[in-house]
């Protein structure tokens, strides 16, 4: 007879781990399962660092979710004694005609988020090593910063184990049928029975549920570069450089300061080609390095010829417009999806866990933007 848990959560990334935390808090028995391990290097949560910002242009939903997640991350770090947040500040670099950033400025002020407006002379005075010749406006959130992503997932899962959540390494196969699901099967033939199942499988969701999600989640290949900083210089460390997003640039570059001496991190937020999270090639291309150097030459000249000390290839798991998917399976009524982080989900882990556990345990009001029904099969990115 297989073990029966109240909840089985498949996927130990940031969404699955926070959901497990909330469900376990209700006193329920929980098993957390991952094919490659919590925060593994193939997972979207497996990067070193992720930006935590509240600014989302005029989008009040994600602004409020980020605001909600901040104290929950803090509370978790205080509880476990591991502070995995670095308050570097986060800055949007743009120009006066950019409605996204203006509306963000207005919204952040209305919601009481501390932020500061900088003009071109302010930018060049404060950050002489950065050149934003096309930017006349920047909005800085001084309280925001960077989460140490994979370490945070590791800390979450260690804490879950201490609270008697069971963890297993296993690859779960697609559950079939209609109505109530009694158990899931793993590739090695094991069965795991539970009352409710949550699939928080990131970019694997469309592979695992090809009929339902195959055309609704689009994993894309995203390259990340770490550049060596000049010897003896702390110009690219906090507080001399915040995390920043160059919103007016067509490649949508964003950069993070040198944290734990890993180097200046930079990536382009535009969506890359389609990507297979299991077997996709994770070496960056020479062309990408050349494209990066062209950007650096113009905007971060001190690093234009700097050594690439590390690279990563990760994937976004995009929905059509960037809204999360947090909803029930259309045919299996005790199966839930949590995914569609779309390149911005990490910071929201706590709010995702709180929302989904509220849905499951208390039938709380559902946000239409997270519904499966709202997920289109074409792409029109709308969340930044």
Ligand X SMILES: Cc1cc2nc3c(=O)[nH]c(=O)nc-3n(C[C@H](O)[C@H](O)[C@H](O)COP(=O)(O)OP(=O)(O)OC[C@H]3O[C@@H](n4cnc5c(N)ncnc54)[C@H](O)[C@@H]3O)c2cc1C
Q: Whole-angstrom Cα distance, residue 249 to residue 147?
A: 25
Q: What crossing angle do the helices spanning 99-110 and 60-80 adopt, rounded to 10°?
A: 60
> What's the longest Cα–Cα distance across the chain?
70
Tell me the closest approach of the beta carbon of residue 348 to ligand X, in angstroms: 6
Please identify, using beta-carbon distances, which residue of 217 and 296 lies nearer to ligand X.
217
Pseudo-torsion of CA 34, 38, 41, 43, nearest 10°? 60
- Residue 82 tokens read as 């591991």
In the complex, minimum distance from the CB of residue 121 to ligand X, in angstroms, rounded to a whole number: 28
> Quick one: CA torsion of 37, 43, 45, 49, rounded to 10 degrees?
110
Closer residue to ligand X in complex, CB, 299/347 = 347
| Residues that bind ligand X in the complex, under the rule CB under 6 A | 10-16, 33-36, 40, 43-45, 47, 50-51, 171-172, 200-204, 208, 222, 224, 267, 314-316, 339, 341, 343-347
Phi then psi dihedrals of residue 186, to 5 deg: -105, 165
Block residue for tokens 């929201």: 348
Kindly tell me which of 136 and 255 has the beta carbon lying closer to ligand X: 255
Pick the closer one to ligand X by CB: 115 or 245: 245
Q: Which is nearer to ligand X, 127 or 324 (CB)?
A: 324
Closest distance between ligand X and the C-beta of residue 30, in Å?
A: 15
Q: Whole-number minimum distance, CB 332 to ligand X, in Å? A: 15
Q: List, in order, residues 6 or more apart from 287 with CB less than 8 Å away.
A: none
- Least distance CB 96 / ligand X (angstroms): 26
């Amino acid at each position: 007879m297989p073990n029966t848990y109240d909840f089985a959560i498949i996927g130990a990334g940031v969404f699955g781990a926070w959901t497990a935390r909330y469900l376990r808090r209700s006193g329920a028995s929980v098993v957390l399962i991952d094919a490659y391990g919590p925060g593994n290097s193939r997972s979207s949560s497996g990067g070193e660092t992720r930006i935590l910002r509240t600014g989302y242009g005029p989008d009040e939903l994600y602004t409020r979710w980020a605001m909600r997640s901040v104290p929950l991350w803090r509370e978790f770090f205080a509880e476990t004694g591991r502070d995995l947040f670095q308050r570097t500040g986060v800055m949007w670099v743009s120009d006066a005609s950019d409605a996204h950033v203006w509306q963000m400025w207005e919204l952040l002020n209305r919601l009481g988020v501390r932020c500061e407006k900088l003009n071109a002379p302010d930018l060049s005075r404060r950050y002489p090593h950065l050149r934003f010749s096309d930017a006349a406006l920047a909005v800085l959130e001084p309280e925001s910063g960077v989460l140490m992503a994979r370490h945070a997932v590791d800390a979450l899962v260690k804490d879950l184990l201490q609270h008697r959540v069971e963890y297993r390494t296993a690859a779960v196969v697609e559950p079939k049928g209609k109505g109530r699901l009694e158990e899931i099967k793993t590739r090695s033939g094991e069965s795991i029975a539970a009352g409710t199942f949550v699939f928080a499988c990131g970019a694997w969701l469309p592979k695992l549920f090809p009929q339902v999600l195959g055309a609704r989640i689009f994993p894309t290949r995203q390259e990340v570069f770490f550049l060596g900083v000049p010897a003896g210089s702390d110009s690219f460390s906090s507080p001399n450089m915040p995390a920043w997003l160059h919103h007016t640039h067509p490649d949508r570059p964003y950069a993070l300061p040198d944290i734990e001496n890993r180097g200046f991190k930079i990536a382009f937020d535009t969506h890359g080609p389609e990507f297979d999270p299991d077997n996709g090639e994770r070496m960056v291309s020479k062309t990408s390095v050349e494209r990066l150097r062209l950007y650096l030459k113009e905007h971060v000249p001190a690093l234009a010829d700097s050594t690439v000390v590390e690279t990563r290839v990760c994937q976004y798991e995009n929905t059509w417009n960037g809204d999360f998917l947090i909803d029930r399976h259309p045919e299996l009524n005790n199966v839930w999806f949590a995914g569609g982080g779309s390149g911005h989900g990490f910071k929201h882990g706590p709010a995702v866990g709180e929302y989904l556990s509220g849905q499951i345990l208390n039938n709380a009001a559902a946000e239409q933007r997270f519904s499966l029904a709202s997920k289109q099969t074409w792409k029109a990115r709308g969340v930044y």
